[in-house]
Amino acid sequence: MIETGIPKLDDYLLGGIPEGKSLVYYIYPGVEGNVFGMQTMYHTVSNGRYGVYVASSTDPRMIREQFDEFGWNTDECGDRFIIVDAFSGLIGADSRERYVVSDPEDVNDLTQCIKQAMEDLDGPGVVVFESLSTIMDLCGESETLDAIEEWNQYAMLYDHAMVYNFTAWPYSEDTLLHIKEDICNSAISVGGISERVIFGQYFGILKADWMDVPRKCVLFKIVRPGGIRVYIPKILVTGPFNAGKSTFVHALSNRAVSVDRLGTTIALDHGHIDYRGFTADIFGTPGQERFDPIVKLLSGEAMGVFLVLDSTNAADFVRGKRMLEITMSFGLPIVIIANKQDLQGALTPEEIRKKLSMPTNVPIMPVIATNRDGVFEAFETLVDMVMEVD
Amino acid sequence: MTYNFGISRLDELIGDIGGGTNIMVIGPPMSGKDDIINIVAYHGLIDNNAAVIVSTREPGTNVLEWFGHHDTNIPMDHIGIVDCVTRTLGFGAPDTENIKMASSPVDLTGIGVKISQFFEHFWMDLQLRKTRLCINSLSTILMYSNLPTVFRFLHVFTGRIKAANALGVYVIEDGMHDDKTIVTLKQLFDGMIEIREGEAGYQIRAVGLTPKPTPWFDYEIDGVNIILRG
């Protein structure tokens, strides 16, 4: 398997792209989808394999700088990072690359170069196309479609994985259908959520012929440095007064702010976390009953919920359960944080489950928020649950 | 939601231009089209519009300087420039708040992404509801690509202009393309600003925005004003 390096996508693809198979990132215009191919390329070469990057609309020097912007140092990859320069010939510029397509508008010239690069690799690797749509624009739709079949077959001989960034401009229906459904072993849709403007981005699997396709759609953000991060716009942190919600939000977040008075949250806590390929905005509610109207307002559109309980204060558990009702959290993925596990008299997660009569499919995680013990494990658990929701 | 060009007599004849309108500016070389498109963007800026300018001939810093030079009081944070030049010259300049770098005029995918990012920023972060997209120029893009490719690109982005109730203004060089190219591209636009060479200089008129074309006017560019005569 050749991993894509895209968070969650490899899980959904059962490990990545099988050697000899092909994948197309089918990108809607205006969505920053080319980073998918770049991330797959860098992930592959940084894991010791070979990667060939077919540059069709960018000067190779600039391509290396684009990788640098994400913190991906191509120099460290040495000769495992190879560029086929199908751009310089277009503007009549010289090239320092080993593989240069002298006439990028001639698909045969391009094919020859790509095949040569594939032959020269010292083992299975990945061939990533910066922009298949640019090649199609320059060489023609049908000519390019024929060439893709030829490239894919050639890659099979050498067990290379083929990865195409394709921007779905309004080509002919047949061409788009062919790209989306036929020509590659797998297709990943990379789209935008729009109303007036594109304000969110997602990816999902359209096709993968080596498995049953999970019907998942994942929101993502692109961060520099870093690359693609699965994005969860809203995780709610709620619970009774003095359970440690603000401490939990701050422990989890890379940056956080609280609106409080004398240490008690009176409006909200807000934090942002960027952790192991995931990024999320965290909203903490106040715990006192007099703020319940605010709690209701804060809880809308959450994708997952942490219920924070003080493990030493069983008397407040009922209030905790009540807060799940107020926030209308039932039905959403919930993780219960059994906080203050370091204090005397703290109940174990199983004791808390009994007292709350919580079903076993609701995880109860032992946490000491003051020193971050268990907070990231709890985050990973909740993220897994959010990602499993169809 | 309406717009105007900021060219007083033309604006009076045309009236308000509805949101979602796409306009081609076509004229001969050296007729001041760069200034005209910047002036259209400028008059939007002073009316609290955002301006997204795709520059295929001038580095983004030069375009930004034009605005700073003519008026230091305009809200510079409302300007977004997609620079298709600097990286082609081999300079690895990073993106700035005002300027996002596209790889080259070939990189329509990248240009499209940068336009969308500015639209999102102005709409979501700055809550600006009126945006002017100025592409200067389609002729350069056509030099690196071909007509169907540019048509597909414009098909998407003229649609986005309509969806966002924005104003799209696209410059094209007269005399540089065959009739088929111009006729094909015209399908995508709601009107045109035409420029031609007259006896005493250049003349301008609007077509398609009123039942009949406006008269031709001699014009002179004076800073951020276009003075019409005749």
Tokens for A24?
Answer: 């197309």
How distant is the Cα of A220 from the closest Cα of chain B, in angstroms? 15
> With an 8 Å Cβ cutoff, is B198 touching chain A?
no
Q: Which of A32, A66, A199 sits opposite B113 (nearest CB)?
A: A32
Asked if the domains at A9-225 and A232-388 fall in one CATH topology, the answer is: yes
What's B103's DSSP letter?
S
Q: Which residues of A touch B144 (CB under 8 A)?
A: 90-91
d(CA A18, CA A314): 51
**CA distances (Å), B104 to each of A36, A90, A281, A356, B158, in order?**
20, 11, 35, 61, 21
For residue A189, count CB atoms less than 10 angstroms from its CB and return exposed for 0-12, middle for 13-18, buried for 19 or more. buried
pLDDT for position A389: 61
- Residues from A contacting B (CB-CB < 8 Å) are 27, 29-32, 34, 56-59, 61-62, 65-66, 69, 87, 90-91, 131, 133-134, 137-138, 165, 167, 169-171, 192, 194, 196-199
Q: Which residues of B touch A173 (CB under 8 A)?
A: none
Instruction: Report phi then psi at A14, rounded to 5.
Output: 60, 40
How distant is the Cα of A32 from the closest Cα of chain B, in angstroms? 6
A350-353 contacts at long range (C-beta below 8 A, 24 or more positions apart): A352/A309, A352/A311, A352/A314, A352/A317
The three state secondary structure string of chain A is CECCCCCCHHHHCCCCECCCCEEEEEECCCCCCHHHHHHHHHHHHHCCCEEEEEECCCCHHHHHHHHHHCCCCCHHHHHHEEEEECCHHHHCCCCCCCEECCCCCCHHHHHHHHHHHHHHCCCCEEEEECCHHHHHHHHCHHHHHHHHHHHHHHHHHHCCEEEEEEECCCCCHHHHHHHHHHCCCEEEEEEEEEECEEEEEEEEEEEECCCCCCCCEEEEEEECCCEEEEEEEEEEEECCCCCCHHHHHHHHCCEEEEEEECCEEEEEEEEEEEECCEEEEEEECCCCHHHHHHHHHHCCCCCEEEEEEECCCHHHHHHHHHHHHHCCCECECEEEEEECCCCCCCCCHHHHHHHHCCCCCCCEEECEHHHCECHHHHHHHHHHHHHHCC
CB contact under 8 A, A199 and B124: yes
How distant is the Cα of A33 from the closest Cα of chain B, in angstroms? 9
Q: Which residues of B touch A59 (CB under 8 A)?
A: 87-88, 90, 103-104
CB contact under 8 A, B109 and A199: no
pLDDT, averaged across chain B? 94
Sorted by sequence, the CB contacts under 8 Å of residue A112 that are 6+ apart come out as none
d(CA A270, CA A282): 6
Using only C-alpha atoms, chain B has a radius of gyration, in whole angstroms, of 16
Q: What is the mean pLDDT of residues B167-192?
A: 96
* Domain A9-225: CATH class, spelled out: alpha beta
Domain containing B208 equals 2-229
Q: Which of B113, B148, B165 sits opposite A31 (nearest CB)?
A: B113
CB contact under 8 A, B104 and A91: yes
Looking up residue B166, the CATH number of its domain turns out to be: 3.40.50.300
Nearest to A349 by CA among A309, A315, A383: A309
Q: What is the pLDDT of residues B143-158, one digit of tens each?
A: 989 999 999 999 999 9
> With an 8 Å Cβ cutoff, is B110 touching chain A?
yes
ipTM of the complex: 0.91
Q: Along the 390 residues of chain A, how does pLDDT read in single tens digits?
A: 999 999 999 999 999 999 999 999 999 999 999 999 999 999 999 999 999 999 999 999 999 999 999 999 999 998 999 999 999 999 888 999 999 999 999 999 999 999 999 999 999 999 999 999 999 999 999 999 999 999 999 999 999 999 999 999 999 999 999 999 999 999 999 999 988 888 899 999 999 999 999 888 899 999 999 999 999 999 999 999 999 999 999 999 988 888 777 777 767 889 999 998 999 999 999 888 888 888 877 778 889 999 999 999 999 999 998 888 888 777 789 999 999 999 999 999 999 999 999 899 899 999 999 999 999 999 999 998 988 765
Q: Does A232-388 carry CATH code 3.40.50.300? A: yes
Largest Cα separation within chain B, whole Å, is 48
Domain ranges of chain A: 9-225, 232-388
pLDDT for position A293: 83
Q: Which of A65, A66, A170 sits opposite B156 (nearest CB)?
A: A170
H runs (alpha helix) in B51-194: 60-70, 108-120, 138-144, 147-163, 179-186
